[in-house]
Structure 1
């Protein structure tokens, strides 16, 4: 696709909020009415006991999202996406989008100011790290949403809400990288470093510059050092964590592809190894309940293959999909003799 269409414009990742989405939990057998009251333990039990419903729901949700948002609203001319299971548990979706009138980054002239400005203006339309909070709220380290979590809102509440307020709630609840933790994003080389390179420096205007390898690098305007890059429309409609990145070079695409082609699956740890790892992460002031909770989450997360992924395959749902069809031809030797 890249050879024929040129490099895509955007890369996106959609996470799932399975423990939050009320439309999903209305489908489970134990739900007695259309009104779903959030009970975290009940929601988790629903997911554990009904992985086939969870799997099919995510697939159908994304199909509608693809047709109504990616195609009709973002006007993507082509797309490619794949499913992946985080820690072999809950699914998320990676994809590339080809957008109309997007310049070919292979022909980008870094010395041409008009060319740079044109590309920057295009990315500014689709990507943001600007927090819509007021200046007073921005000084607060911890944002307190008007409701417990905007992902818990059903479609009726969303349709009656004020769009800007709803978007602000979503941004500050699901898009902010609030704290780096050793069992989530911190990776140890010589020192502990966040694998997402948070927190990010603020800047009043977006920029398109050359990095240390002489490759174009786009950074949107930023007023919040903890805010993840995203597309506002995708976030407001998907209603879970969204990552959306500008693609500025073929090298960035190749790095992504090679990362997932060469990615190995980690074998499950034994229960005693999981417990030893969890004990090393807890602090002296942490409660026993917290340690037990992390241990149980480790057992669920570190399976070789999750029930949701198994159901995805049993339901014969596609792992990869795109707007183009491919035909394999064997041209290496003569198969048919005349």
Structure 2
């Protein structure tokens, strides 16, 4: 793809982060215990309690992750007025960590995204502007 399409505009990684997903944990609890937990109850669970639910039903966890990723990617990212602009091509691959948790690595080619060319005077600032519009980061205040 790189040979045919050129350098991708963005590389991304998406992880499942199952222990942080209150919705997934509620689904797993409902399946295992045939009961609906309160959101406040889920927030009080220890990491080990959450991990046990996740470990006991890996199929539901992977299906949930796949559904959420496809909804995000196809409905939001690839929409006509998506946050990155028009995605003209993409590639992604689902991988599994040693403990079985899925994650995705992908490449996105955005139509009319600026490409760095050292011969062009405004090239660096155009690319920097594009990056600053779409990517942010910060250092948390605590820890």
TM-score, normalised relative to structure 2: 0.79
Q: Is the Cα contact below 8 Å between 2:90 and 2:106 reproduced in 1?
A: yes
1:4, distance to aligned residue in structure 2 (A): 2.8
* Structure (1 or 2) with the greater helix fraction: 2
Asked whether the equivalents of residues 12 and 105 of structure 2 are also in contact (C-alpha less than 8 Å), the reply is yes
Cα distance in 2 for residues equivalent to 1:68 and 1:35: 29
Report the alpha carbon displacement of residue 56 of structure 1 after superposing the two structures with TM: 0.7
Per-residue CA distance 1:241-296 (angstroms, 9 max, x = gap): xxxxxxxxxxxxxxxxxxxxxxxxxxxxxxxxxxxxxxxxxxxxxxxxxxxxxxxx
Gaps of 5+ in 1: 143-338
Counterpart secondary structure, 1:129:
coil
Match of 1:93 among 86, 89, 104: 104
Partner Cα distance (2:92, 2:129) in 1: 25
Which position in structure 2 is the counterpart of 1:9? 9
Please state if 1:71 is matched with 2:78.
yes
Alpha-carbon deviations, 1:41-87, whole Å to 9, x = none? 33222111111101111111100011123212233222110111223
Is the Cα–Cα contact under 8 Å of residues 25 and 31 in structure 1 kept in the other structure?
no
1:32 matched to 2:29? The reply is no
Structure 2's unaligned 5+ residue stretches are none
Residue by residue over 1:106-143, the C-alpha shift from the partner in whole angstroms, topping out at 9 and shown as x without a partner, is xx1x2533121111111111112245x7xxxx4xx43x
Please tell me whether residue 126 in structure 1 is matched to residue 134 in structure 2. yes
Is the partner of 2:113 in helix, strand or coil?
coil
Distance 1:31 1:95, change over 3 A: farther
- Structure 1 position 88, deviation (Å): 4.5
- What root-mean-square deviation, in Å, do the aligned CA atoms of Structure 1 and Structure 2 show? 2.2
Aligned length: 132
Contact 2:89–2:108 (Cα < 8 Å) also in 1:
yes
Distance 1:26 1:33 in 2: 7
Alignment of 1:202-217 (within 5 A): none
* CA–CA distance in structure 2, aligned partners of residues 34 and 69 of structure 1: 30
Q: Secondary structure at the match of 2:77?
A: helix
Residue 11 of structure 2 contacts residue 108 of structure 2 at CA under 8 Å; is this kept in 1? yes
SS at match of 1:7: coil
Partner Cα separation in structure 2 for residue 31 and residue 100 of structure 1 = 48
